[in-house]
Amino acid sequence: MFLYQLHEFGRAFLAPHAYWAEANAKVFSAPGSLLSTLPGADQFSAASELFHRIAKDYEKPEFGIHSVEVDGSVYPVVEREVARKPFCRLLRFKRFSDDAGAIGEMKGQPPVLVVAPLSGHHATLLRDTVRTLLRDHKVYITDWVDARMVPAGDGVFTLDDYVAYIEDFIRQIGADDLHVISVCQPTVPVLAAVSLMAARGETTPRSLVLMGGPIDARESPTSVNNLATQRPLWWFENNLIHQVPVNYPGRGRRVYPGFLQHSGFMAMNPERHFMSHWDFYRNLVKGDLDDAQSHRRFYDEYNAVLDMPAEYYLDTVRIVFQQHLLPRGTWDVAGERVTPAAIGNTAILTIEGELDDISGLGQTRAAHALCTGVPEAHRAHITVDGAGHYGIFSGRRWRTQVYPQVRDFIAGYAGQRVASRKAKSG
């Protein structure tokens, strides 16, 4: 029960050593420094920076999206918080221009809500997704709050609460013209939110893009899926859930700590991470600063993790990965049955990576078998050849292969709404 406290003690112990290593890395590599002329200075500097990066604490990165280039013109971008709840902020990235024509064009572009995963990493992992979408859309994103920073007095956060948050954000932005993109884990609660809204007769978004998520985790199970099914729920609660220490606002809150999640991430591909760090050391020694900087950017994001609320995490393990309640049609959220077949006026696009080792092939595509109220002509699927999990929403494949299809799909429903089967039959 004291694992989190022991982790904090170790982090505090390493902090001064990490700062000292950072200082050594700088003074033994700085041009003009007498120490940089000593034999072995390059190796010592590289080793010091490597130790610093392994031992230091990683804070949440910034989105850092300050401008977007469209057809050769650069437009400033300002990040704004438009709504706040205890466990999530709704952000908008607003573009500006002093050209009346450009302003008119941007105002007429469709709004998109990007639902980021609450599964370890911060929403900044979708930086490339947001930056690319900004070329042609008004972009909002869910920015989930680290649970250790949420006071215990704000209550618990469950998977039901996640669904309710998404419903509220959709209503606040305005569902009538909205398009929703969910990446990875939130495909399940997002589909549930839209299903519940449709069943109540509420206006639903014009389109829904589901990317690399476990709609039906029974399809092509991965090592992530197997971990959840090979152990009973009590094992996860007894071994992975801990209380936030007293030095954080969320003191006493039960969470799945970020440092444990990070250990799991690293354990999935230990050889790859070891070689990446070794290559980083060698690049520093050789003076290959571009590759070294690429390493820093990647691990600044990868090593920044957040704590997940215990109730939400255990709900996800049970409902999504163990009992498969959504595809079985037996999931109730706050007393309401989730029925994807109730969706009729929202176009559906599913996207999977051929080599995805987190959400296997078929898991996201399973949404089509559930959303039978949407005419087949308004449902589409993309399998991205050669892409892993991250490649479908970040990087070259996302920008050159996936995004053009997502953009065109959204554009196809920006000026019209799907006529559901029920409307046709009525």
61-119 pLDDT per residue, tens: 999 999 999 888 899 999 999 999 999 999 999 999 888 888 888 999 999 999 999 98
Alpha helical stretches, state H, 28-99: 41-55
The mean pLDDT of 145-174, rounded to a whole number, is 97
| pLDDT (0 to 100) of residue 71 | 86
The mean pLDDT of 244-266, rounded to a whole number, is 90
pLDDT (tens digit per residue) in 324-355: 999 999 999 999 999 999 999 999 999 999 99
From first CA to last CA, the distance across the chain in angstroms is 59
pLDDT averaged over every residue in the chain:
92
Reply yes or no on whether the pLDDT at 273 is more than 90: no
| 36 or 162, higher pLDDT | 162
pLDDT (tens digit per residue) in 24-53: 899 998 888 888 888 998 999 999 999 999
| pLDDT (0 to 100) of residue 272 | 84
Phi, psi of 121 (to 5 degrees): -85, 160
Statement: the pTM of the whole predicted model exceeds 0.95: no
Domains and CATH numbers, the chain: 3-57+258-302 (no CATH), 67-232+308-425 (3.40.50.1820)
The mean pLDDT of 198-207, rounded to a whole number, is 97
Question: Exposure of 97 by Cβ count < 10 A (0-12 exposed, 13-18 middle, 19+ buried)?
Answer: middle
Alpha-carbon dihedral sign for residues 261, 161, 116, 59:
negative
Nearest to 389 by CA among 416, 363, 354, 421: 354
Reply yes or no on whether the pLDDT at 425 is more than 70: no
143: β partners: 89
Reply yes or no on whether the pLDDT at 180 is more than 50: yes
**Residue 381 tokens, joined:** 């699927």
Q: Are 309 and 124 in contact (CB under 8 A)?
A: no
| pLDDT (0 to 100) of residue 393 | 95
| 71 or 256, higher pLDDT | 256
Reply yes or no on whether the pLDDT at 264 is more than 80: no
- pLDDT bucket at 422, cuts 50 / 70 / 90: low
| pLDDT (0 to 100) of residue 421 | 55
| pLDDT (0 to 100) of residue 58 | 85
| pLDDT (0 to 100) of residue 7 | 84
Phi, psi of 418 (to 5 degrees): -65, 135
Reply yes or no on whether the pLDDT at 130 is more than 80: yes
CA dist 374 to 13, 163, 251, Å? Answer: 57, 21, 46
3-state secondary structure of 254: strand
Q: Are 42 and 14 in contact (CB under 8 A)?
A: no
Q: Give the integer Cα–Cα distance in Å for 55 and 37.
A: 27
3-state secondary structure of 187: helix
79: β partners: 93
Reply yes or no on whether the pLDDT at 402 is more than 50: yes
| pLDDT (0 to 100) of residue 424 | 44
133, amino acid identity: L
Nearest to 132 by CA among 341, 386, 396: 396
CA dist 237 to 232, 233, 275, 305, 310, Å? Answer: 9, 7, 33, 20, 8
Q: Are 345 and 417 in contact (CB under 8 A)?
A: yes
How many residues are given for the chain?
Answer: 426
- pLDDT bucket at 1, cuts 50 / 70 / 90: low
Helix H or strand E encompassing 294: helix 289-302
The proportion of the chain whose per-residue pLDDT surpasses 70, expressed as a percent, equals 98
75: β partners: 68
Reply yes or no on whether the pLDDT at 286 is more than 90: no
CA dist 163 to 28, 126, 326, 380, Å? Answer: 52, 20, 13, 24
The mean pLDDT of 275-284, rounded to a whole number, is 89
| pLDDT (0 to 100) of residue 254 | 96
